[in-house]
Amino acid sequence: MENKRPSWDEYFMEIIQVVKKRSTCLRRKVGAVIVKDKRILSTGYNGAPTGLKHCSETGCLRDKLKVPSGQRHELCRGLHAEQNAIVQAANSGVSLEGATIYVTNQPCVVCAKMIINAGIKRVVFCGDYPDELSTQLLEQAKVELVKFD
C-alpha cells in the first residue's frame, strides 16, 4: 500500500497543530510556524510573555469583561502566536525576508503589521478571525493570503 506524501503546505499546517498545544491561552489555542525554502525558521504559540504567570493562573481579563473576539487586544496579557514566532526569530538573529508563515487562524491587524514589516511574503491559515483591516493591509502590502482547507 502506497502512502501519499503531504504537500509542503499540508506538512507545515500539520506542524502548527502540534505547536498550538503549547498555548496557555484560555480562549483560543493558536500555533504559528515560519518557513523559508522548506525549512522551519521559527515557531510560536499564544500565551503570556516569558517568565510571567499564565492566564490559567491569573484568569482572562477579556473573558471577565466579555470582550468579543478580535477587539481590545491591549487588554490581553498574552502575545499572539505570530508575534512570538517573529520575536523568536529576531532573538536568534534570523531574517524572515521572503518567508511564509503558517498559522491556525487568520492574523489580526497587529500581527498583520508585524508580518508586513518582518518581510514575510505569504500567510497560510485555516481558521477565520474577525478582522477586515488585517486583510486589507496584507493585500495592500502584496502579502499573499491563503486560506487552507
Is 82 in the active site? yes
Assess if CATH 3.40.50.150 describes domain 8-147. no
The burial class, CB within 10 Å (0-12 / 13-18 / 19+), for 148 is middle
Domain segments of the chain: what residues?
8-147
Consult the annotation and say whether 80 binds a ligand. Answer: yes
Consult the annotation and say whether 108 binds a ligand. Answer: yes
Query: What cell was used for 53?
Result: 504567570
Query: What cell was used for 119?
Result: 518581510
pLDDT tens by residue, the chain, 149 residues: 668 999 999 999 999 999 999 999 888 899 999 999 999 999 999 999 999 998 888 988 888 888 887 788 788 888 999 999 999 999 999 999 999 999 999 999 999 999 999 999 999 999 887 789 999 999 999 999 999 98
From 10, 14, 57, 82, active-site residue: 82
